[in-house]
Chains A and B, each alone.
Chain A
Amino acid sequence: MVNPIDRLSSFSYAVKKYYGFDKDELKGMAVAIVIIAFIVSFDEWGVDKFDLMYGLRNFFNAILIVLLSFIVYQTAQRFTAIKSGFKAEWRIWIYGLLIGLVLAFVSRGKLWFLAPGGVIVYHMAGHRICSFRYGLNYWPLGLSAIMGPLACAMLAIIFKILGAALPANILILKAMKINIWLAIVNLLPIPPLDGSNMFFASRMFYIFTFALVVGTMISLIFFNVLISLLIGLVAGFILWQVLYWTLEK
């Protein structure tokens, strides 16, 4: 017979019990996916003139890509939160989505402000035996929040590698671009975006991660993965040092 304490501390048990999405989350995610898909397919509703079928096909493709990105994003956050003894939930940010829509109309789909929402976590004291269990603290919250954008960045790198193997596939390049924007925008330190949680947890770690992700993601458009990672690391290191010597020391 399995010891109930062992069962309680097992990661797979916690995932099975706490990974699920509630009704509000699913509703919010559906709205966010549709709006983000609309933003990223804004300038793809016809080549010379408006074409409904062409646009709908691109819109559907965008929905699939955004759905995949959302699943990866949420999974990374939830797994990290569960591992730290928290239950993560995602909440929609209506102003962020509306700002994204406005910017899409103003820039004719050139500027993608993909800020769908942010994570909130609940403390589960029973799952934090042998560690601090007297309430929420910033670091695990920041860590679980930042895993979402980092997972998107990883997905963008995977799509870049796939794009190198299949250079004629436009859909892969689009998927890479969407994940790049998702990773960068969600790392901004604007509450309730996920970057803000890490910003409040540790400014030094935040600035390093932000520069690493932004540097890697922007150079991913022009260079291969290794060079991009190197540029990201150098950017992260420089900004980290600049912050330390100017403000934090």
Chain B
Amino acid sequence: MAGALLDTGKMRMGKMNKKGFEFLDKWVELFFFILLVIGFIVSINIGSAFFSYIVIFLFGLMAGRFLQLRKNIFPFYLIVLGLLIGYLLGSRYGNWKIVVFVFIIGAAVSWYVHEKEYIR
């Protein structure tokens, strides 16, 4: 009887854990998708190439800070890539190569500024 109860408990715990692990396994994809959608919505609402480059530069600054605080953890690079892909998909104005270049410049500037601790 006690063994049966223990088994049931184990099964319940197993199920709960499985659900928890499923989310924990898929959090990167989830955040990748969320940021992809955010990037798409933001870029599709921008009405000129100039503003598009400024906004992607600001996103680059955010990404640089985000990645600098979480160095060498691959999933965070993937999440940031989701934002960039979403932005490129929704971008109606400007050249996509310039968008990628400006994003990298923004991220690099932000990374450097945080690395040197000019901003904390």
* A residues neighboring B (CB under 8 Å): 24, 94-95, 98-99, 101-102, 105-108
Contact = CB atoms under 8 A, between A and B. Distances in A.
8 contacts: A94-B65, A95-B62, A95-B65, A99-B62, A102-B55, A105-B51, A105-B54, A105-B55
Contacts of A24: 120
B119 A102 contact: no
Nearest to B114: A94
Interface of B: 42, 45-47, 51, 54-55, 58-59, 61-62, 65, 119-120
9 nearest A-B residue pairs (beta carbon): A106-B45, A105-B55, A105-B51, A98-B62, A102-B58, A98-B58, A101-B58, A102-B55, A106-B42
Chain B, interface SS category:
helix
Contacts of B45: 106-107
Contact of B47 (A94, A99, A108): A108
A106 B46 contact: yes
A105 B59 CA distance: 12
Contacts of A94: 65, 119
A106 B39 CA distance: 11
B78 to A, nearest CB: 19
Contacts of A106: 42, 45-46, 51, 55
Contacts of A107: 45
B51 A98 contact: no
A55 B120 CA distance: 31
A98 B119 CA distance: 14
A24 B118 CA distance: 11
Pick from A98, A105, A107 the residue with the most CB of B within 10 Å: A105
Contact of B46 (A95, A99, A105): A105
A94 B114 CA distance: 12
A106 B62 CA distance: 16
A98 B110 CA distance: 12
A136 B13 CA distance: 36
